[in-house]
Amino acid sequence: MFPWCLKQLLAGKAIPVSSLDALPPEAGRDRESWLHFGIKSNLTFPLLTAGGQLLGGVSFNTVRKARSWPEEFVTRLELVAQIFANALARQRADQELCESEARLTLAADAAAAGLWRLDLATQCFWITNKARELFAFGADEVVTFDRFLSLVHPDDREMVRQKVQQVVQCKGEIQVEYRILRPDGRLRWMKSQGRVHAGSSGQPDYLMGVTVDITEQRLAELEGQRLRDNLAHLTRVNTLGALSGSLAHELNQPLGIILSNAQAAQEMLSQEPPDTAEVQAILTDIVKADRRAGEVIERLRALFKGGQASLQRLSLNAVIEEVLRLIHAELLSRGITVLRELASDLPPVLGDRVQLQQLALNLILNAAEAMSANAPGTRRLHLRTMLHLNQVRASVRDEGEGLPADVERLFQPLYTTKPQGLGMGLVICRSVVGAHGGRLWAETHPEGRRRVPL
């Protein structure tokens, strides 16, 4: 109805009209509209936000007679228009904020997440109903930071407190997982993440974020880890069962030495006079053989034993050597020659000894089986360790028939090329390496033979 007037408002201009006859020709449509409403004079101001956005306009009209608009009068009415503009801007901002919070709360509720804001000055929380539900806070309860900490598990409480203090000091972001004890005695796992917001002074003003209950997820993880540990244990038992003949040889050799030495000592002690020096030497050999047998049994006991991982600083070279000693007879029976390139300057790694032993055992036996069709004298197993980009790297290389076209199939569950294979050996190997923060892959060696580095 007022196209010319709207154009002026969009340009941020005030529109004083003392007489409709004074309107320019392009304002013909506007003139007809004013005549329709019986308006004789008009003064219209644009309602602008501080950023220059047009919210609308406010008009002052006369209907009895035309009049002029003195400059002083225009200035006063312009102040009135600005008051209207500020009020509308605040109303719109409040409405947009409410709508934004409503949308955010709706999205958070749909994701079973609770929103919260911690005022760093008052140490009081603003929290959504979902957040109250997660922590079992009362509907009208005033929630302070200390009240929140009272629900955190005692073993996690200081950690959470320190995390919050650190993120406030550095004005950064926080992400923390912790346990809470609800009033009904149930223990729940929570994950909270948020960000510090600074005020106009640049100092931290409040911490705002979201919390979700991850109890079920932590239980999907713990059960999965338990199943993986059990499967790894069964795989070790299966592997060692297949090596029972070689392992028996590893034990029979020191036991045979003990028996023959004991018989020789008995014979010497029956002589007159007994050769005590020779008997002493025989007893020394018996002690050495006994210790060797004990070491074999201890290594077997560790590999057969299940349980949770126990991380410690250890030498990867020593782990490899322990496995080689354990299956020495097996490798000899298969005609395998082991070529070592073990770096002497490797730093210790943080790992579980049994898991790393199983890793080395699986990879070495896989390499040995890959060369079963090789002619005698060409079954060479290459073991190498090195420091690569500040990380310890080890590789097991055989001289077998090579890798399949799709190398990743080797690491797929239940994929096996062995008649009696479970198809889980390399899957468990990759899982072990991943749990230790590493990576396991297979690639073709430049000489045409395969290798499995980690």
At residue 156, does pLDDT exceed 60? Answer: yes
Lowest mean pLDDT among 71-75, 206-210, 253-257: 253-257
Res 444: pLDDT: 83
Cβ pair 318, 295 in contact under 8 A: no
Q: Is 180 a domain residue? A: yes
Mean pLDDT of 394-408: 84
Q: Is 105 a domain residue? A: no
Res 315: pLDDT: 94
Length of the chain: 454
Which of 57, 51, 49, 50 minimizes the C-alpha distance to 13? Answer: 57
Final residue of a structural domain among 188, 213, 238: 213
Show Cβ contacts of residue 234 under 8 Å, excluding neighbours closer than 6 positions: none
Are 36 and 120 members of one domain?
no
Res 413: pLDDT: 63
Higher model confidence: residue 92 or residue 390?
Answer: 390
Q: Is 220 a domain residue? A: no
Are 420 and 275 members of one domain?
yes
Are 331 and 417 members of one domain?
yes
Res 108: pLDDT: 54
DSSP state at residue 279: H
Total structural domains within the chain: 3
Encode pLDDT of 89-143 as tens digits: 788 777 766 666 655 555 555 556 788 889 988 999 988 888 888 898 988 899 9
Are 50 and 130 members of one domain?
no
Are 207 and 343 members of one domain?
no
Are 57 and 175 members of one domain?
no
Res 101: pLDDT: 62
Res 50: pLDDT: 75
Q: pLDDT over 70 for what percent of the chain?
A: 81
Q: Give backbone dihedrals phi and psi of 99, rounded to 5 degrees, phi first.
A: -65, -40
At residue 231, does pLDDT exceed 80? Answer: no
Q: Is 40 a domain residue? A: yes
Res 349: pLDDT: 92
Final residue of a structural domain among 48, 74, 100: 100
At residue 411, does pLDDT exceed 70? Answer: yes
CA distances from 429 to 423, 435, 436 (A): 11, 10, 11
Q: Is 416 a domain residue? A: yes
Are 138 and 257 members of one domain?
no
- Rounded Cα distance between 304 and 249, Å, is 18
Res 215: pLDDT: 85
162: CATH: 3.30.450.20
At residue 417, does pLDDT exceed 80? Answer: no
325: CATH: 3.30.565.10
Are 140 and 87 members of one domain?
no
Helix 244-269 crosses helix 215-242 at what angle (to 10 degrees)? 60
Res 386: pLDDT: 93
At residue 148, does pLDDT exceed 80? Answer: yes
Cβ pair 319, 356 in contact under 8 A: yes
Res 102: pLDDT: 59
Res 182: pLDDT: 85
Res 205: pLDDT: 86
Higher model confidence: residue 331 or residue 239?
Answer: 331
Encode pLDDT of 347-375 as tens digits: 999 988 877 887 888 888 888 888 888 88
At residue 383, does pLDDT exceed 90? Answer: yes
Res 146: pLDDT: 93
Q: Is 218 a domain residue? A: no
Q: Is 219 a domain residue? A: no
Are 261 and 285 members of one domain?
yes
Q: Is 121 a domain residue? A: yes
Final residue of a structural domain among 100, 120, 145: 100
At residue 208, does pLDDT exceed 80? Answer: yes
Range of the domain at 27: 3-100
Res 32: pLDDT: 92
Encode pLDDT of 237-289 as tens digits: 655 555 555 566 556 667 777 887 788 888 888 888 887 888 888 888 888 77
Res 197: pLDDT: 86
At residue 224, does pLDDT exceed 80? Answer: no
12: CATH: 3.30.450.40
Res 394: pLDDT: 93
Are 308 and 372 members of one domain?
yes
Res 259: pLDDT: 80
Are 419 and 374 members of one domain?
yes
Are 186 and 249 members of one domain?
no
Work out the mean pLDDT of the chain and round it to a whole number. Answer: 81
Find the angle CA(172)-CA(178)-CA(184) to the nearest 5 degrees.
135
